[in-house]
Structure 1
C-alpha cells in the first residue's frame, strides 16, 4: 500500500496538476504576493518620507435603532477606502491584459481605522477581514466592507418632540501620524434609505482636520494626527407624540377646568377632577420612560405637562372651596362690606350672564307664593216641590281677582335669615366658579403661548455642528 501511495504522489498528482495550468490572474497574484522583501505590514510606499493618502467614504443604508434612553445609535453602512500602493503595480500586457484583480484584506497592506465613539467591541477592527479589495494595474486600491456600528449619540431633548439630533461618527487611523498616513473622509452621496418610522434624515456632513497632540510620545513635543468626522442630522417625526401625548393631555387639562361649569350640588364634580389629574399623571410617566434620564436640560414639553398638571390639581381644591361656600350655614364674612356685596351679588353675576341675588330672591318668592284667591261662586238653593228635597243650582263662576304683586320690600321680609344666607352663598359660589374658570383658562393659554415661543427658537437649527 505504501508503494502504491508513493507512485500516486510521484506520477499521477503532478500529471493532474499539469493538466490545469495557473490562470493569468493566478500568475499575477503569485507575482504580486511573492515579490522580494514584500510585507503587508509595511506602508505601501517606496520612499519612507512619502505619505499614504487614505480616503474614506461612509454610505449609510439603514438605521437599525436609536435608543434615546441609553443614547446609542445603531446603523448599517458601507465603508469604502481608497489609497495607492506603489508596490502593487504591473504591466497588464505581461498578464494577458489583466488590469484589475481581487485581493483579500490580509494579503496586502490595509489601514487600521478606529471609530473613537463606538460602543462595540470591534471598534478597532471595523474593516471586515473578509472584505473585498479591488486592485488596479496602477496600484490604486479600493476596499469595501459592510459594517454594523453602535455609536454614542448625545441626545438633546430640549425641543422634544420637535427636536433635531446630530449623531457623530469620529474616524481616525490607529497610531499613525499625519505625515505617515493622511486620512480624510469623502462627502457621501444621497442616503435616502436612511429612514425609520420615527426619524427623517436631513443631511450628512463631513469635517476633516489635523489635530495636534503634545507629548503623546515621549521625546516628541508635538505630533499631528488626521481625523475625520461624519455627522448624521436626524429630525423626529412629531405626529405620533402630537396625537398620542400632547392632544390627550391638553384635553384632560381643559376637562379639569370644565368641572367649574358643573353646579356645586353635582356629586360627580370632584371625582371628575380627580380622574383628570390621574390621567395627566399617566402621561407624565410616559414621558419619563421615553426620554433619557441623564439629559442636562429638561424638555420643554415636560415643563408644559408639569404646568398643566399643576393647574389640573389646583382645580380640585378650588372646587372643594366653592362647594363648601355653597353649602355653608353661616353668612359669608366678606358680604358684610357693601362694596364686596355689590360686586359679588350684583356686578359679577351680570358680567357672567348669571342671575343676580335679587333675581334669585324674586324667583324663590314666585315659587313659594300662595295661589291667588278667587271669589266664591254663588249658590242658589232651590227646593224641588216635586220631590221635596233640597237641590243645588250652580251658576257660571265670576272671573278671578288676582292679588297685587308684593313690593320688593315685603318680598325680602318673607325669607328667613338662613334662607337669605343660603341664596347669598350659592350666588357667590356660582360667581366664583365662573371666575375660576376664566382665570384657569387664561393661565392655560399663557402657558401654551409661552411654550410655543420656546419651540420657535429651534426653527432653522438643522445644520448644527457635531
Structure 2
C-alpha cells in the first residue's frame, strides 16, 4: 500500500501535474516497477487526469451510461491509461431497402476528437470482435455479421470508424405480414372460383373478395410503419401489392362475368287412375230378368 501511495505522490504531487494542460508523464516500465516495489498499475479517479474528448462523431443521440457514477481510470507502468466509457448512442446510417426484409446494411460508427487535431491526439482502433463472438451480438431485429475498422485523416484531423455489417432478421415480417397476406389471397381466390359464378351467388362471391381487400389494408398499414419512406419500393411492399392486385382482379372478374341462373326443371306428377263402376244398361237388365 505504501508503494502505491508513493507512486501516486510521484505522479500527481511532486511533478505538479496539471490535468488541464498535458497528458500524464510516461516512464519506462522497468524504472517504474523497480522504484515502486513492482507495482504494475494503480487506479485513480478520472478527474485527476487529462482525458481527450474523443466521442462518437456521427451520433444523433449520445447519452452516457451511469453518468453519476464515479469514473475510475487504470494507469499502467508503461504510461498506458485505461479508461472505459459507456455510451448509449443512436447513429444515423445509410440504408438500402430494395430487398427488405432480407436486406443487409453497412453502418459506420465514427470516433473522433472535436478539439484536437492529429498532432495532439492520435486515435487508434482496437478490440474488433472475433468471428466466433459475433453470434451473440444483436438486438433481435439485427444480427452483426462482421466488424471492421477504418482510419481516416482529413483536414488535419484524424478519426477512426468501426464499420458494422448487419443483417436484418426477417421472422417478424414473414409471419405477421407475408404469410397472412398469402393465406388471405389464396382463400379469397379459391372461395370465389370454387363453384360456377352464377348470378344468384355473385354477391356472395364478391363479398369474399371485398372482405379480403379490407383485411389487407391492415397489413399495408403495418408495412408502411415498418419501412422507411424512400423512393425505392421494398421487396415486401411489392409482394403485398401483388396480393392485393390478384384479389382485386378476381373481384372484377366476378363482377363482370357471371352465368345466368339455371332454369328449374318441371317435375311430372304421377297420374292417378280411378276405377269406374260398371254401367249396366236397363234393356240388358230386362233381358236378364226374362231369362231368369
- TM-score tier, shorter chain, comes to 0.7 to 0.9
> Would the alpha carbon gap of residues 168 and 184 (structure 1) be closer, same or farther in structure 2, given more than 3 Å must change?
same
Distance 2:88 2:73 in 1: 19
Which range moved further: 271-280 or 249-258?
249-258
Aligned with residue 300 of structure 1, among 235, 260, 264: 235
Structure 2 equivalent of residue 261 of structure 1: 194
> Would the alpha carbon gap of residues 210 and 127 (structure 1) be closer, same or farther in structure 2, given more than 3 Å must change?
farther
Structure 1 equivalent of residue 152 of structure 2: 209
Which runs of at least 4 in structure 1 moved beyond 4 Å after TM superposition? Answer: 87-90, 125-129, 367-373
**3-state SS, counterpart of residue 213 of structure 2:** helix
Structure 2 equivalent of residue 321 of structure 1: 256
The answer (yes or no) to whether the contact 2:63–2:87 under 8 Å persists in 1 is: no
The answer (yes or no) to whether the contact 1:32–1:88 under 8 Å persists in 2 is: no
**3-state SS, counterpart of residue 289 of structure 1:** helix
Structure 2 equivalent of residue 158 of structure 1: 98
Structure 1 equivalent of residue 290 of structure 2: none
Query: What does 1:17-416 align with in structure 2 at a 5 Å threshold?
Result: 23-44=2-23, 85-86=25-26, 91-120=32-61, 122=63, 130-189=70-129, 190-211=133-154, 213=155, 224-258=156-190, 259-262=192-195, 263-264=197-198, 265-266=200-201, 267-293=203-229, 295-323=230-258, 326=260
5+ residue gaps, structure 2 = 286-292
The answer (yes or no) to whether the contact 1:44–1:87 under 8 Å persists in 2 is: no
Distance 1:138 1:162 in 2: 48
The answer (yes or no) to whether the contact 1:101–1:134 under 8 Å persists in 2 is: yes
**3-state SS, counterpart of residue 183 of structure 2:** helix
Distance 1:96 1:142 in 2: 21
Distance 2:234 2:255 in 1: 33
> Would the alpha carbon gap of residues 129 and 369 (structure 1) be closer, same or farther in structure 2, given more than 3 Å must change?
closer
Q: 1:254-301 CA distances to partner (integer Å, 9 max, x unpaired)?
A: 2332213333222521111111111111111110122223x3422121
Distance 2:34 2:159 in 1: 40
Structure 2 equivalent of residue 350 of structure 1: none
Deviation of 1:234 after TM superposition, in Å, equals 2.0
The answer (yes or no) to whether the contact 2:144–2:166 under 8 Å persists in 1 is: yes
Across the two proteins, how many residue pairs are aligned to each other?
272
The answer (yes or no) to whether the contact 2:62–2:89 under 8 Å persists in 1 is: no
Q: 1:51-95 CA distances to partner (integer Å, 9 max, x unpaired)?
A: xxxxxxxxxxxxxxxxxxxxxxxxxxxxxxxxxx52697533333
Deviation of 1:368 after TM superposition, in Å, equals 5.1
5+ residue gaps, structure 1 = 1-21, 46-84, 214-223, 328-359, 389-466
Distance 2:63 2:22 in 1: 23
- Pairwise CA RMSD: 3.5
Q: Normalising by structure 1, report the TM-score.
A: 0.51
Which range moved further: 165-174 or 274-283?
165-174
**3-state SS, counterpart of residue 242 of structure 1:** helix
The answer (yes or no) to whether the contact 1:112–1:174 under 8 Å persists in 2 is: yes
Deviation of 1:243 after TM superposition, in Å, equals 2.1
> Would the alpha carbon gap of residues 138 and 239 (structure 1) be closer, same or farther in structure 2, given more than 3 Å must change?
closer
The answer (yes or no) to whether the contact 1:171–1:229 under 8 Å persists in 2 is: yes
Structure 2 equivalent of residue 392 of structure 1: none
> Would the alpha carbon gap of residues 296 and 43 (structure 1) be closer, same or farther in structure 2, given more than 3 Å must change?
farther
> Would the alpha carbon gap of residues 369 and 149 (structure 1) be closer, same or farther in structure 2, given more than 3 Å must change?
closer
Q: 1:374-413 CA distances to partner (integer Å, 9 max, x unpaired)?
A: xx9xx9x799xxxx9xxxxxxxxxxxxxxxxxxxxxxxxx
> Would the alpha carbon gap of residues 272 and 249 (structure 1) be closer, same or farther in structure 2, given more than 3 Å must change?
same
The answer (yes or no) to whether the contact 1:185–1:206 under 8 Å persists in 2 is: yes
